[in-house]
Amino acid sequence: MANNHLLLGCLVTPLIGAIFALVFYRSNRVQRSVGVLCGFAAWLFCLALLVQVHDRGVQTYALGNWQPPYGIVLVADTLGGLFAFMVTTVMIFGLLYTFHSRDNCMRYPAFVPLFLLMEVGLVGAMLTGDLFSLFVFIELMVLASVSLTAISDDNLGLEAALKYILISSVGTLFLLLGIAAMYVTFGTLNLAGIARIILTGELLSLAPVSVLMLLCAFLLKSAVFPFHFWQPDFHTTAPTPISAMLSSIVVKVGVYGIIRLVTLLYVEEAPALQLWWLSVLGVIGIFFGSLGALRTYNAKRMLAYSTFAQIGFILVGLGWGGAVAMVGAIVYAFNHAFIKSALLMLMGVVASYTKKKTANFEYIQGFGEKLPAGIGWLFLLGGLSLAGIPPLNGFISKLALIQGGVDRADWLNLIIMVAAGILTLMYMVSAWQHIFQKKPNAKTDAAKAEGDSAFAPAALIVICLLLGTALAEPLLQVVTVTVEQIRDPQVYIAAVELLEGGG
């Protein structure tokens, strides 16, 4: 459907929320209420959009009524709709977490507006049909998340933010060089227009350069080895709701970009790109992340290293490239967003009860006995889900990926993935035992009477349970439709061509 206003609503709602939050800068509670309400409204728009995409096909909207290739067009196929829905769902719980958080940085007038602007960047990146606007949305997301980390209560927050902005500048350079090469080569930055030209089979000199630049940019945004080294510091020192967003949905922007590269722009080159780049980097990331998580000194840092491994699983699935493997990779990306955000928020709750506001293992050994009842079991459920134990959604993710590996008969990588799943179980259970089963020692920090509320992470754990049981089949059906659609670039191209023709 051309000019579907739901696409505009998904973007404009959090933007309006950011503006209103600035208007009410004197009242932190009003700001947070505005944030939650606008976040929920954006979620409703994304849900309605996903339903329409599923029922009626690709939806489009020409901004300012300027038709492509001259104007910027928003495009929602099932992949973009599903990822936008994932982003807005997790963002609601991040905003809910701020209500009962005692971090000083969340009282700053700029906190909620920046949080909502980060959502604008994330949703926009998933729904844009133009490469340059993709760059703009990604940079908006980066600037908002860097600013939110810089004002963290952690003394190392500013240092981590500076590290990331410097590394991100490299990713920005790659992205801009890729966009420039695309424009010189194809004369347009419209994704559908580029895909249409590529499908003609015409040999274009700068096409390999552009795909390499874009791939490097997306790998850096997803913190894939060897572009990973900024991530542990940045994710560990960020305020809890920001850390949860960074490790669960912000890293998915790069994953989304890679999927677009191999299914829309460079379909013919995809097999070589997937085999030699994605599979190898994915396997390295799985082991590097898992071993790093086993040996680190901080629970939030452990979860940050774990993100390397989980992104590695997704890359291996994308590297296999078959329909079954693609289903597994997208299901894994979707489910990981809920698991990881829940676990990081739970660690934020634990740290909020310590005098030092720390998640260092030496200070939280045996700290579980000082926490409200149930937090330990929620953490264990989240850890089991991350490791892929049924009936949680992590099991569905791992099972879907394993089916993709069997379909491709890649037994070596299958064995590696199963072994890495065991490593995940080891470090998550070890962390749970260290915090909630051991006795406190001389270094265990003193406890405060009150800490952050566990409502948001508890609700996310419930969603993980539902996604592993009652909602597992609907999710697999939606993702299967998604993969069928993205494996035929003509579906995406035809929807934008219809918009160009005034349909």
334-349: per-residue pLDDT in tens? Answer: 999 999 999 999 999 9
- Mean local confidence (pLDDT), 43-56: 94
- Mean local confidence (pLDDT), 419-424: 86
**Is pLDDT above 60 for 203?**
no
Alpha-helical regions (H) of 100-206: 111-127, 131-150, 157-186, 191-199
**Is pLDDT above 90 for 207?**
no
pLDDT of 1 reads 57
**Of 141, 137, 16, 156, which Cα lies nearest the Cα of 72?**
137
Domain range annotation of the chain = 272-469
pLDDT of 445 reads 81
What tokens appear for 211 in the block? 């795909």
Pick from 47-56, 150-159, 165-174, 196-205: least confident: 196-205
pLDDT of 48 reads 95
Whole-angstrom distance, CA of residue 254 vs CA of residue 250: 8
**Of 463, 97, 425, 36, which Cα lies nearest the Cα of 244?**
97
Whole-angstrom distance, CA of residue 126 vs CA of residue 222: 14
pLDDT band at residue 223 under the 50/70/90 scheme: confident
- Mean local confidence (pLDDT), 278-292: 85
Residue with tokens 């997937």: 274
**Is pLDDT above 70 for 273?**
no
Cβ-based neighbours of 433, under 8 Å, separated by 6 or more: none
pLDDT of 202 reads 61
At residue 75, the 3 state secondary structure works out as: strand
pLDDT of 2 reads 67
pLDDT of 272 reads 65
Query: Which of 114-118, 257-261, 285-289 has the highest average model confidence (pLDDT)?
Result: 114-118
**Of 285, 309, 321, which Cα lies nearest the Cα of 394?**
309
- Mean local confidence (pLDDT), 431-440: 90
pLDDT of 270 reads 66
Count of helix runs (H) and strand runs (E) in the chain = 22, 2
**Is pLDDT above 60 for 317?**
yes
pLDDT of 89 reads 96
Pick from 218-227, 294-303, 329-338, 460-469: least confident: 218-227
**Is pLDDT above 90 for 405?**
no
Cβ–Cβ contacts within 10 Å for residue 312, how many? Answer: 27
- DSSP structure string for 299-359: HHHHHHHHHHHHHHHHHHHHHH-SHHHHHHHHHHHHHHHHHHHHHHHHHHHHHHTBTT---
Cβ–Cβ contacts within 10 Å for residue 373, how many? Answer: 7
Q: What is the DSSP letter of 264?
A: I
**Residue 18 vs residues 31, 115, 447: alpha-carbon distances, Å:** 9, 8, 35
**Of 298, 296, 280, which Cα lies nearest the Cα of 236?**
298
- Mean local confidence (pLDDT), 385-390: 88
Are 258 and 180 in contact by the 8 Å Cβ rule? The answer is no
pLDDT of 101 reads 85
Computed over its alpha carbons, how large is the radius of gyration of the chain?
22
Are 145 and 245 in contact by the 8 Å Cβ rule? The answer is yes
Whole-angstrom distance, CA of residue 149 vs CA of residue 145: 6
Query: Which of 5-9, 41-45, 152-156, 454-458 has the highest average model confidence (pLDDT)?
Result: 41-45
Mean pLDDT value across the chain:
87
- Mean local confidence (pLDDT), 463-488: 90
Residue with tokens 């099991």: 395
- Evaluate if pTM is beyond 0.75: yes
Q: What angle do CA 249, 245, 265 make, to 5 degrees?
A: 20
